[in-house]
Structure 1
């Protein structure tokens, strides 16, 4: 009887561990305004309902291979949240943050990529989403300035 109980507890712990790992990989991205008037959770379900844009890009801090990325335009994400189109503070799970000027996402098709080479990617793989510029189509978008705005492991977007 004791062995059966121990086995059931072990199975329960394994299931609970797997469920919490899956939940951690599906963390929503918070979209809010600096005054707190809008708080919107961008879940993987919401991401998949927004129209997606795809293109080839070289992702910063990688092996420099050209990758095919897909996700909604940043401007569509902001519209979906109900927030005004202002400069954005982009925050990553590791504490990195940078300002993305409104002129960038209004005039350039910057996306919030959640698929690379056709596959969703996890937090461990720099997900749940990555801000990506179409730098293969527009080489002027390569370099440190735009690379610094290409935040991976997105956790929060604050509209100023």
Structure 2
């Protein structure tokens, strides 16, 4: 009787494991140049303790377009990329603070609340063209400055990191 019960439990656990969604934990390895590395308090990785993304992987999270003016550009610009929220959801980010790091090691802390709505955009293209390092690429963290007055402040301007290459998730 005990053997039968143990066998039933094992069978049940096996069926449950096979029916669990595997995609929540699987993140493919990049096949192109790595544009963004995320490390820290994340649940999903693809290179040890980090998650690395190439252009295609980022766009696979769901391309979003935002047209807005910035204090660094002339007139409205159309940015295409992925929301910080989509990235946070994909990696099951558990931290309270994000640290955005640029190629020149400029870093700024961003509260996780900025990733809880669809406002913050990890822009990869500007006006239909991939952004190069000399043009604030490969990634520029953009906010909808024209759509909401709260983003037209020194706080959000300082969070608009260009030449973004890494995000550290802090507890």
User: TM-score when scaled to structure 1?
Assistant: 0.75
2:76 paired residue among 31, 42, 66: 66
After TM superposition, give the deviation of residue 77 of structure 1 in Å. 1.1
Pairing 1:86–2:93 present: no
In the alignment, what sits opposite 2:36? 29
Higher relative contact order (CA 8 A, sep 6+): 1
Q: Which residue of 116, 124, 133 maps to 1:114?
A: 124
Give 1:3's aligned residue.
Answer: none
Distance (whole Å) between structure 2 residues aligned to residue 96 and residue 43 of structure 1: 21
The partner residue of 1:47 within 58, 62, 83 is: 58
Give the unaligned 5+ runs of structure 2. Answer: 1-32
Considering fraction of residues, name the structure with more helix. 1
TM-score (norm 2): 0.71
3-state SS of 2:116 partner: helix
CA displacement at 1:113 relative to structure 2:
0.4
Residue 38 of structure 1 contacts residue 83 of structure 1 at CA under 8 Å; is this kept in 2? no
Are the equivalent residues in 2 in contact too, given 1:57–1:68 (CA < 8 A)? Answer: yes
CA distance in 1, matches of 2:92, 2:153: 32
Distance 1:94 1:105 in 2: 23
Let me know the Cα RMSD of the aligned residues.
2.3
Query: How many residue pairs align between the two structures?
Result: 135
